[in-house]
Amino acid sequence: MPELPELEALRIRIGPPVEGKLITAATVNPKKGHLLRYPVDNFALELPARRITSLTRRGKHLVFATELGGGGQPRWLVVNPMLGGRFQIGGDDIPVPATEVFTLRVEGKVEVRYLDFRDMGRIYWVSDLSREVPAWDLQGPEADAVASMGLDVFRKRLRRFRDELKDLLRNQEFLAGIGNAYSDEILWEARLLPLRRRASLKPEDEEALFRAIPLVLSRAIEAILANPKYEESKQDRKFMAVHMKGGQTCPRCGHRISQLGTNREPLNFCRGCQF
């Protein structure tokens, strides 16, 4: 599931080639039209001839802001990829996979394709983000803005929640952008066990979490951007320390990495160096 780092790297990569450009065509795969929370026919009719004014990210959503010529009628295409959504950027040279949900053709022969392996993604085409995208306004601050928030504000925010740490980090009302994979990585970095309750944290644990969140996220963005062979559609996460590495050796202490949950959505951590 793409989380903040994947979507942020994607935004950095595909923002410049699409921002300011006209959408020349929008096609929807007839077999996947049900993923659009909006009539498919309107989608294909209304997107072309619009200009993409910006590509931004909010939590786990990628947001294409568009306007019709002359600066009028802003409308947003919002994609929440959920478990199996991926983006693919290409031209006519890359064949369209069967998992394609929609393709935007943008002037300059760029194609932005949204693929979905699990058909769980949510796609909105709206004129009012707050009213039309569920829970939009409930999203907390961006997780990568924790450092600029400062430790005191972070502590106050943290103490409003009672969840186990794993659930807390994935709670978009606490911070927006973190899911199953990066919550494992952040807790490993902070040396905290995922099933600990927030109330059990000592001040130094809170500080470790405060430091680990932006560190893990920024390192991941760098790792993704530094990989020239990175394919958006495959989501290579080899750089991770524990997530999806159950049974392997912890890179910090050499202990065997534990796994709870399913293979599809594992919870990984190290009993040797997380407390």
Min separation Cβ 243 and Zn ion, Å: 13
Q: Which stretch binds Zn ion (CB under 5 A): 2-10, 127-135, 141-149, 264-272?
A: 264-272
Min separation Cβ 261 and Zn ion, Å: 19
Which residues is 249 bridged to in the sheet?
A: 256
Min separation Cβ 258 and Zn ion, Å: 10
Q: Which stretch binds Zn ion (CB under 5 A): 37-45, 136-144, 177-185, 263-271?
A: 263-271
- How many residues belong to the chain? 275
195 vs 253, which CB is nearer to Zn ion?
253
**Binder of Zn ion out of 55, 65, 104, 270 (CB under 5 A):** 270
33 vs 272, which CB is nearer to Zn ion?
272
- Alpha-carbon distances, residue 98 vs 29, 90, 110, 113, 202 (angstroms): 9, 15, 19, 11, 50
The three-state secondary structure class of 143 is helix
115 vs 181, which CB is nearer to Zn ion?
181
Min separation Cβ 256 and Zn ion, Å: 9
114 vs 188, which CB is nearer to Zn ion?
188
200 vs 249, which CB is nearer to Zn ion?
249
**In sequence order, what DSSP letters do the residues of 238-271 get, joined into one string?**
TT-SSTT-TTSB-TTT-PBEEEEE-SSSEEEEET
- Alpha-carbon distances, residue 78 vs 128, 134, 210, 254 (angstroms): 11, 11, 29, 42
Min separation Cβ 252 and Zn ion, Å: 5
- Alpha-carbon distances, residue 57 vs 54, 91, 204, 236 (angstroms): 10, 23, 31, 20
Q: Which stretch binds Zn ion (CB under 5 A): 21-29, 33-41, 96-104, 262-270?
A: 262-270
124 vs 188, which CB is nearer to Zn ion?
188
Per-residue contact flags (x/-) with Zn ion for residues 2 to 31, judged by CB under 5 A: ------------------------------
Q: Which stretch binds Zn ion (CB under 5 A): 112-120, 159-167, 208-216, 265-273?
A: 265-273
Structure tokens at 199: 């109330």
Report the 10 Å Cβ neighbour count for 99.
20
Distance CA 229, CA 14 (A): 15
**Binder of Zn ion out of 22, 193, 241, 273 (CB under 5 A):** 273
Pairing, β 110-116 against β 85-90:
antiparallel
21 vs 219, which CB is nearer to Zn ion?
219
The three-state secondary structure class of 66 is strand
Q: Which of residues 200-259 bind Zn ion (CB under 5 A)?
A: 250, 252-253, 255
Decide: 195 and 164 in contact? Cβ < 8 Å: yes
Distance CA 242, CA 219 (A): 15
* Closest to 91 in 3D by CA, of 3, 24, 167, 155: 24
Structure tokens at 123: 């796609």
146 vs 186, which CB is nearer to Zn ion?
186
Min separation Cβ 255 and Zn ion, Å: 5
Q: Which residues bind Zn ion (CB under 5 A)?
A: 250, 252-253, 255, 270, 272-273
